[in-house]
Amino acid sequence: MQVQRFIEVTNRQVMIELPESFINHRVALIVRTADEAPISLPKQRRPHPEIAGKGRTLGDLVTPIVDEGDWDCLQ
């Protein structure tokens, strides 16, 4: 991917010269103002301190702990 940045826009039209590697290719143009604050990602969630660290992993994460014969819903 190639990126071109513009410092200042003085009117509504902007003419850009693309590199030769863009010839005969489709391009996507994304335009946004540099003055806007960047999009912030949501903060990572943490468990409540009273339950943090009290969970345990029993067995394999992919295969069930109980036999399939014990599952009524599969019949």
Question: What does residue 63 show for φ and ψ, rounded to 5 degrees?
Answer: -90, 145
What pLDDT score was predicted for residue 65? Answer: 73
What pLDDT score was predicted for residue 61? Answer: 79
What CA–CA distance (Å, rounded) separates 36 from 48? 34
* 3-state class (DSSP) for residue 21: helix
Average pLDDT over all residues of the chain: 79
What pLDDT score was predicted for residue 48? Answer: 92
What CA–CA distance (Å, rounded) separates 44 from 31? 29
Largest CA distance in the chain: 72
